Structure 1
């Protein structure tokens, strides 16, 4: 107990015992001493417990700063985010030393040691991961494991600190109980001496309880509030004794912590600091009163200071945004030195004092705004009173300017990231435009080269001599080789950019392998290589993009043939597992050394990359194959040894096969989740001779339609917790289902949207039997164009050679061609000629193919005409959505270049076979 407290208690007790009989003096003195010792012990214990508890909170805050900073850095990877981590790390040793000094009890020290051990364990673990991270070895870090370990170790530290705080609380309560017991014993002793002594002691106890215990209990409650993070509750501090002073200091600390939190919250609320400077200044004024405040920001070149904010005496609206040089004046000193500048009286400064005199500023304090990365500027406060600021002011401001400096750094980083993101978006857009232009500009002339070479090779316009045939064959082979190279490069670019889209359908693996081997058998025969395909009775299904999966198989087979010597063997087999299908391509070729097997799937990598290698190629085929397999959710692997051939294995997920139930007039796929409605529609359809298949969810519709190829589909828009629109969009986007009529049967009034997305009819529930059957008769039962009718085809392309290739392909068939060299001519011919079929190139100017299609669909006179898209453009998701429900087929010019006119004629026949009767109304 401090001497001043002892004196005050002694005077109080002396005045109380003046009325007591002299004979009771010794007893009174004994009681006084006992009570004094109780007070001294209790006060000393309470103060130390509070100080120890406060120190534990400091340690926990330092650890929390470290953890928050580390997690933010680990998530974002910005080194500046580690500044709070290092600050907390530096504060830990001194904090633990102070805590140990305050912990006199062995139990306290043991718990502190456990707490220190937990902190060090966490810090050592973080140091290890930071070293790995900063060394650029991030792949060695298991992200999920880091999060689990971080939480486990930090929880161990937090539990240890909670144990210390609970021990402090127990000791404080134990001391309170012990001292009260002593106090009660003293009261009993004095009570035994006499009634008067008892009255005096009771009175003294009441006074002591009121003047000491109640304030201490109030302090205890306030400390609990602070510990719980409730910083807005003031600490009561009435009176002028030491307890009141302690309470006042605690309240000041609480206010300071609350201000720190408000400042931190304020700075974290936005990256536009200009908007919060006034609120920040108001918070500062509550802690360090001032008459003038400004924030100076150092320019990037480090030569000038920009006034980002100013308020108070001597400031005006023109001051904000002004620049002044970074010179040797007092105003630049804190930025130069990185240390606070405190001037108690500016009248002694000749130059700066005169500058501040008009505003009445007599004292200033300037705090540097600095982070580990750089100096950002300074926070400047001025007052009209001399000596208005002291070291206490500097200490208070020091804890508040650091969050401001961090916020300035974060705002700058955000601006840099925003600029970088904008640039990345621009580059991504340019890449997309480049891919689209390259796709069109490279493939279009290649299409002409290959197409006309085939025409010459077929001797369509006269025979060629042997040399001419050889030269034409060389041109054709080189064109096809260049086309494969261009396609591979563009496909690799699309996969890397995330633009590759798969048009999935249910495929039969056995049929697929038979088709691909048929296409590749001539290549094997030319090299006298035996091509074998395993014949299995089992025929598994996969959900894949037909063209892309054929590309995977063709790449693997052509590679196997290329690297196998004449007389060798290439075989294809498959194995069916519960969840996937494994397709294997095996050859007896030259094999791949083990140390080269990892890099053959990289772009432009070949085992033999020398100029004298015997096999041609760019090293793109396997790289593209791997990426296409992964897009399908599968894997690719290789087993090989040099001189012993290679085995490539592709695994892809299986698709389930359903059992169809057919009717005499074809199957109708009913998409409905209500059992009663399903039963009623089933009765309607089966009574009219249709077979019925069911689907109850959007995800089931396209696979079922691909599997059973129904003559029509009925679609309810309200399916359980989902709408049916996505199913309609998928059906009209897929080349194998877009021609299937879709009848919407719904309680929703969305006819306009339904027709816009490609629905053939829209019926409202409840639907009548005859109404449904009439619609199906109109959509399904209409007469198609017969095989002996002449078909008038309008082809639109701004490349004359492309139109010439179409003409050559249609020559000698039942198709009669009308040519339009641009979109404007096409629209004129549509209005006057009413063709049976429309072939449209998309990439035209000034009227694009999209505009031609939209005009044809919008006109009631032409909307019935089937439209075939003929383009070298790789369609994006937006393009497909734009065309959804409008076109009957899409033909790639590259397919035409590779497969010849048969691909075009085959697709035209398919479209004509499904054409509604309106398309043939005027034919013949």
Structure 2
């Protein structure tokens, strides 16, 4: 049903209902009213006859009685069908001939008593025909119904035209405009007048169209910008040497850059939707699945947010070294992991060649340098007889430089062993107290060269650790020699050991110039040394602290420092204490 039909339907239902009410209730009521009016009229006529009939009955003047009734009957012959007069005993007086009751639905019989002093002297029965009167009344009612229906029809038509003009057409315009709006025509405008609901709706529609046009225009600009950024980011990512792989929290690959394709040999289409274990050797797959589940369940990080070296597997089955960094990110409610993979095959090969070269060269240099150093010491010591003082000074300088070269070579070899994982450790249960004393004795001669006093201010007794004594002496030698080198002449370098929280903390304290703030972050890096030009220019490899850090960490310990410029520095390391076994 259309909108116009829906608008006219209530009017039509009202007209139809009103017609039913007029026809079946009001029409019937009008007919009954008409019938009662006729009866009342006839009763009034009988009452006008009543005095004459009573006199005639009392006087016994039947002729006058018959004459009067006959005259009246003729006068009302169109309506009166039968008049019967009986005396007080019920004997029919008029008409003379015996009558029988008339049977017709439209005949009404009226009975009227003739009373004198409340006593009946007779009874008159009048049968009237209301057929013609009722037909006239029905016609009148029909005409009324017809006029009413015509009036309502005119009202309905006028209402239909009015509703079509002020309701249906504006709504149809809104419907067409909405269709055009759905097709993308956001600039459409509809005319609106007045301040009624449809006008307000039209105005709101126009405003909505304008807002949609502005929003769509902005969205198109954003989409274009987003696409441009997407292309730019894709281009950047595809030109990065490192492969970038994105997975969901179950390990399913969602993105795979061009660099990743070059590294692993797969195209993005070949790996997208598959598990990341496709890119791993068999030995890594189980550990990866367990590690991922542990992280999701307990947030137990292993390689998340850390750069580690692992192994990858190419499409052709080759296994190669890989540097991997994994980061977690959230997009909406989805948890994703992004992995940055770097093929370090060439780096490992180069590093291996470098280590082999360094090791070979160092070993080849150390033997002749040791021989040269020994020969120089013999000459300086007078094994070949007295030598001129100037020559002796030059030989001492040469010997010192030879020792520096040997120290550098030893440090380089140690660093190479650490990086290759080949540095050997021979741990044993040992006391800390004699270890510190031994370190002081080893460095005493070196400290005396610069007029520095070595002092143990606290040496914990009966403290055991599980460590390689030679390596710890090496660490203490590096820390003490650095403290001596950066201390002013005549000052004291202090050694201290304190047991706390299951660890022994050993510290070396100097009163030198301190370490500049800008140097703190790189202090333990390789080939790094502070500027000692303000104290004394003494040779250093720049590897001592880096080697010391590696040695302490191999002992499951921790190394660090505190410093204040102009006031000195404190280098410390702590190692786990081994409890004494109870004697049984």
TM range (shorter): 0.3 to 0.5
Structure showing greater Rg: 2
Higher share of residues assigned strand = 2
**Which structure is higher in RCO with an 8 Å CA cutoff and minimum separation 6?**
2
Give TM-score, length-normalised by structure 2.
Answer: 0.43
